[in-house]
Amino acid sequence: MIIVLKKHTTREQIDGILELIKAQGLKPLYMPGTEKVVLGALGDERKLAGLQLENLPFVEKVVPILTPYKLASRDLYPTETVLTVGEEAVGTPNFTVIAGPCSVENEEQIMTTAEFVSSLGIKFLRGGAFKPRSSPYAFQGLGVEGLKLLAAASKQYQLNIVTEVMSPDEVEVVAQHAHILQIGARNMYNIRLLEAVGATQKPVLLKRGMSATIEDLLMSAEYVLDRGNRNVILCERGIRTFENAYRNTLDITAVPVLKQKTHLPVIVDPSHAAGYREFVVPLAKAALVSGADGIIVETHPDPAQALSDGRQSLYFKQLTTLMRQLRNLASIEGKILP
């Protein structure tokens, strides 16, 4: 940790900090410059974080050298995490495709979709039962009824279910029916929810918040990991910027950055990034070649009639084309796509 002091800091104040550093078992360093005095602390500086040295009126800034997360860090855990979900492996070099409608709407819709995605060799079905919507007047999902429909589809077509959980008290019921618990972008900072899914051993698909930095996303993962659940999959799904020609700005660079910083699997949601189905296919392909471990993509038997997000849902024939293109790219890139 590097501590930059303001001009005119007294020798006494400086010595005070050097003592604090020593008291934490770290090695202090004194670096008087011509314009500013700089101090250093060598060792596990996370011990100093609690002291909040930046509170001191004569401290100009504190520059951490180490990352604030540990369990999510590739520096400390260099081996890629590969999760087992049902009979499937998620994580490098597997390329996992999760497909399905935004919301579960009725039995026919979800069964038709399950049958279709299964016919393409896809092993994971997505579908929302509890839906966080911008408006209280919009369709809020079928709730537990939706979970049961998903479970039925899972049984009939041997699909693993990915569905969202919105509140700590819903974790139990969602975990009974689903194989992967999704934390939506709106809830990435919902700490009680992170703690609740962290207390299970269910795989967690953690979506990046709209304005979350890559470090924020890793800190949210750290909450889950710290509670004892090591089965976390990260998902880049677009961030909020000034551009409004589409829904969210897909941060494609986050993929190689995350693969460098963490051992956790990283997937991409091209549907919520694009917002318009005509841009979903190029983004899904970009995800694969940039190093992602999978995608989660929306499809619907009749997008024009979808109760939510129909504008970004692929037609079945588009999904067929996408799968063929992804398989071609996977073969070049050394990814396994069943």
Query: Using CB under 8 A, which residues numbered 31 to 90 contact a second copy?
Result: 31-36, 38, 40, 42-44, 46, 49-50, 52, 54-57, 63, 65-66, 68-69, 75
Distance CA 48, CA 29 (A): 14
CB within 8 A of 303, min separation 6: which ones? 277, 310, 311, 313, 314, 315
Residue 279 interacts with a second copy (CB under 8 A): yes or no: yes
Q: What is the DSSP letter of 278?
A: G
User: Which part of the chain contacts a second copy (CB under 8 A), choosing from 91-99, 105-113, 119-127, 218-226?
Assistant: 218-226
Find the part of the chain contacting a second copy (CB under 8 A) among 79-87, 104-112, 150-158, 213-221. 213-221
Site for a second copy in 125-144 (CB under 8 A): 132-139
Task: Considering the complex, state which of residue 198 and residue 203 has its C-beta at the smaller distance from a second copy.
Answer: 198
Instruction: Answer yes or no: are the C-beta atoms of 319 and 275 closer than 8 Å.
Output: no
Query: Closest separation between CB of residue 202 and a second copy, Å?
Result: 19
Task: Specify the length of the chain in residues.
Answer: 338
Beta pairing partners, 96 = 294
Q: Which of 21, 162, 255, 267 binds a second copy (CB under 8 A)?
A: 255
Q: Which of residues 291-330 bind a second copy (CB under 8 A)?
A: 291, 303-308, 310-311, 313, 325, 328-329
Q: CA–CA separation, 3 vs 109, rounded Å? A: 59
Question: Tokens 């703690």 — which residue?
Answer: 195
- In whole angstroms, give the CA distance from residue 69 to residue 62: 17
Among 8, 12, 87, 242, binds a second copy (CB under 8 A): 242
Shortest distance (Å) from residue 63 CB to a second copy: 5
Burial 7-18, CB ≥16 within 10 A → b, else e: eebeeebbeebb
Give dist(CA 219, CA 207) in Å, integer. 12
Per CB under 8 A, 12 contacts a second copy: no
CB 165 within 8 A of CB 183: yes
Instruction: Give CA–CA dist 168/192, Å, rounded.
Output: 7
To a second copy, the closest distance from the beta carbon of 312 in angstroms equals 9
Which residue has 């995800």 as its token pair?
287
Write out the binding residues for a second copy, residues 141-200 only, by CB under 8 A.
166-170, 186-187, 189-193
Nearer to a second copy, 85 or 267 (CB): 267
Q: What is the DSSP letter of 23?
A: H
Compute the least distance from the CB of residue 319 to a second copy, in Å: 15
For a second copy, give the closer residue by CB, 154 or 231. Answer: 231
Are 26 and 43 a contacting pair, CB within 8 Å?
Answer: yes
Number of residues that bind a second copy (CB under 8 A): 104
Joined together, the tokens standing for residue 306 give 């979808």
Decide if residue 93 touches a second copy (CB under 8 A): no
Of 79-87, 92-100, 154-162, 271-279, the window that binds a second copy (rule: CB under 8 A) is: 271-279
Between residue 105 and residue 124, which ones bind a second copy under the rule CB under 8 A? none
Indicate the residue among 160 and 294 with the shorter CB distance to a second copy.
294
What separation in angstroms does the CA of 170 have from each of 95, 161, 309?
29, 16, 23
CA distance 62 to 250: 31
- In the complex with a second copy, the residue whose CB is nearer, 22 or 240, is 240
Does position 228 interact with a second copy (CB under 8 A)? The reply is no
